[in-house]
A and B are shown apart, each in its own frame.
Chain A
Amino acid sequence: MLWSGGGAARALTRAFGSQRAAAALRGAAGGPAGLPTRPAELSGDDHADLSLQTGLKNCNRKGQLKPCSTQPVSLTDIQSSMLTMKRLFSTSHSSVDAKEMKKFQLLAHKWWDEEGEYSALHSMNDIRVPFIRDTLLSMRSNYHVGNPLSGVKILDIGCGGGLLSEPLGRLGASVTGIDPLEDNIRTADQHKSFDPVLAKRIQYKSSSLEEIVEECMETFDVIVASEVVEHVADLEMFIKCCSQVLKPEGSLFITTINKTQLSYVLGILVAEKLIGIVPEGTHEWEKFVPPEELESILESNGFSVKTVNGMLYNPLSGSWSWMESTSINYAVHAVKSGAQAQPSPTGALSEVGSEQPSATAGTAL
């Protein structure tokens, strides 16, 4: 009842697609390059109808068994594909993530109500857009102030209704926004359609990160994942995929919530239950990511963390501001290392030249 049959079929097809992508990643050196996708997809469709009744858990396993039987795969392939499947459905064999998708689904048309459920995200634009803009401008030498981000290709992961994609598009960037929830993409597409300029500059796709990795290797100058990593099941995989679609020396911007007592009290208790500025159940404290963990994953995947800034939301004024402490919300800017070599902590650090020793310590700008 959550998804129509067609929707589930498409979801499963995507799952196989991602499995294909995951296998391709691993098999770059010489694994199964061309996977027989036809049979896999067909069998996926069959299972789609069955899976509706059996629920997500079984859907995962059932969907997987078929393709595994049609080509030789290693154990790691199965594991990685399980991971990507998990990530795609955002489930860790629990129903929580399905609920998350459902919660976002219910609010899919509320994105653009500036005073509504997403008002905090609207006002977050006031600090995250200048943050992205100014960081990028400081790295470019020739730009026109009237069109600061022209020529920049940006990927907005988890774009939702396009709240962040639109301002970036207005600043001149070519934006691709992806979100696993189709309703979100529909809302985003419809909203941008009224503005002829934006309609051309922004492209939305209903997809997960894994699915586009294959077609979009090293395509983007900038990736933005704002308020996304706390909803992701496998952060390591997520960052790896980001690294793949990002050009060398490209920038990755992440904003998310820290995993501290304070973030539990303010971010969940107060924000969701007490004053309701965030729809209840949106966040799970378990999935919050401390900046140290995020930094170490980034560094071990070929990124060099340049900036970590704490953010603070004032519910009375409805506005965000920067703060020294990263104990609640924070933003990260990381740059992918330029070399094509295998990512390693020391390699990444030494390659990117001027390193601020304070960057890893997480001090504010």
Chain B
Amino acid sequence: LGHNIHFHDKKIALLEAGPRKDYDRMPDSYSNRVSSISPGSAALLSSFGAWDHVCNLRLKPFRRMQVWDACSEAMIVFEKDDLGDMGYIVENDVIMSALTKQLDAVADRVEVFYGSRAVGYTWPLPSHSCDTSPWVQIELADGRRLQTKLLIGADGHNSVVRKEADIRNIEHWYDQSAVVATLHLSEATDNNVAWQRFLPTGPIALLPLSDTASSLVWSTSHEHASELLAMDEESFVDSINSAFWSNVNHSDFIDAAGAMFRSAISLLKPSGTAARQLPPSVAQVDPGSRAMFPLGMGHATEYVQNRLALIGDAAHRVHPLAGQGVNLGFGDIACLVHHLGAAAFNGSDLGSLKHLLKFETERQRHNVSLIAAIDLLKRLYSTRLTPLVLLRTWGLQATNALPPVKEQIMAFASK
């Protein structure tokens, strides 16, 4: 917002609970919190100059994504026709640092309050009475008070802003936790493929960080996640490799059905099937890089209220299996900036519900279908029941054979 021309003479305050993060050179070891950045998000970041900083620090583009089932041979491969970058794996710290640099560039308009916490919110009354201010009042932990025409809540899935505004949140905790770690591959390779395998306990994904390192995101049951964290490094590495390589979950029936379907497809569409590749094997894990966090899904019933807008995880929370969480947030930002810019150029009151509702409608239309799809995929792949396995096997194989469908999926996810 600070870089938007229509906000040239507006004042913006950013309340950040964490410390300032600014890196000129990244430390040698990789952070275990990474995000998959879609091309759309990259475009947003470059629109205000942050992407250049990301590129200067470090990132890893990937060109292919292979997703396959543990219970069958079915798989789907996504890649762009022109073999361009499908997306980028970027450490969260890198993004933070890039954003910090760009915030500094507009320090005259944007004031960042590091290490601050809001303890009280006073919402404006719907009817305009004489003596109360129609703006939102915020009280900080250190006693300072701020007032604003528009409050944007971007404080994550446990959003305090959302709770204070009494916005109902539909949420659901998955019986899963995600284990993250930084892994070193056994041999250097042209590491530009993102791998994800759906195990019955949850998907395991390997995201490239460099030619020798990858990031692990393994969603599994709470107990298994704790075990993984507790075990020694060698056993941990073994579990990862076997998760990707072993076929213990296959059943003959499914294999036969899958093979039959595949031959049917190759009759109809010769190029519709491809050989399944195996991901690189893992040699060791970065000590101290293992961590876990619980997973859930959430969606706020309203994204906006008078003088309030929710974006990112505060508005919606998804399973990491599709790598979409942060991209949805970036999409929210692009949309909100667009609507606020137009409102500012029309001289409207920025907190006015009219244009906020336009933002809500636009984003809900986009987000709800994606959130539902991700949730559905998660449930579909959490089972070993044969009929469902069969269904998803054939579904996956069919989708893999239909480029138009795949292109639609990729286009939707890249926004």
Could you list which residues of chain A lie within 8 angstroms of chain B, going by C-beta atoms?
Answer: 112-114, 123, 125-126, 129-130, 133, 144-148, 166-172, 190-191, 194-195
Contact = CB atoms under 8 A, between A and B. Distances in A.
B349 interface: yes
Interface of B: 5-9, 127-128, 130, 133-135, 149, 344-349, 352-354
Contact of A129 (B8, B127, B346): B346
Contacts of A190: 130
Contacts of A195: 149
Contacts of B344: 170
Contacts of B9: 146-147, 172
Contact of A146 (B6, B127, B135): B6
Nearest to B347: A167
Nearest to A186: B130
Contacts of A170: 344, 347-349
A347 B6 CA distance: 41
A338 to B, nearest CB: 28
B133 to A, nearest CB: 5
Given A114-B352, A194-B133, A148 B128 contact: no
Given A130-B346, A145-B6, 17 more contacts: A113-B128, A114-B353, A125-B346, A126-B346, A144-B8, A145-B5, A146-B9, A147-B8, A166-B347, A167-B346, A167-B348, A168-B347, A169-B347, A170-B349, A172-B9, A191-B128, A194-B134
Nearest to A169: B347
B106 to A, nearest CB: 12
A114 B127 CA distance: 10
27 contacts: A112-B128, A113-B128, A114-B353, A123-B354, A125-B346, A125-B348, A126-B354, A133-B345, A145-B5, A145-B6, A145-B8, A145-B345, A146-B5, A146-B6, A146-B7, A146-B8, A147-B9, A148-B345, A166-B349, A167-B347, A167-B348, A168-B347, A170-B347, A170-B348, A170-B349, A172-B9, A191-B128
Contacts of A126: 346, 354
A212 B116 CA distance: 51
Nearest to B134: A194
B172 to A, nearest CB: 34
B43 to A, nearest CB: 21
B52 to A, nearest CB: 23
> What are the 6 tightest A-B residue pairs by CB atom distance, in nearest-first order?
A146-B8, A167-B347, A170-B347, A171-B347, A112-B128, A145-B5
A196 to B, nearest CB: 10
Contacts of B130: 190
B138 to A, nearest CB: 16
Contacts of A148: 345
Nearest to A127: B346
Contacts of B347: 125, 129, 133, 166-171
Contacts of B349: 166, 170
Nearest to A164: B347
A112 B128 CA distance: 7
Contacts of A166: 347, 349
Contacts of B5: 145-146
Nearest to B135: A194
A190 B9 CA distance: 23
Contacts of B352: 114
Nearest to B124: A194
A192 B5 CA distance: 24
A116 to B, nearest CB: 9
A168 B346 CA distance: 8
Contacts of A168: 347
Interface centre among B149, B346, B349 (most CB of A within 10 A): B346
Contacts of A191: 128
A129 B128 CA distance: 23
Nearest to A144: B8
A88 B347 CA distance: 31
A326 B134 CA distance: 38
A148 B345 CA distance: 8
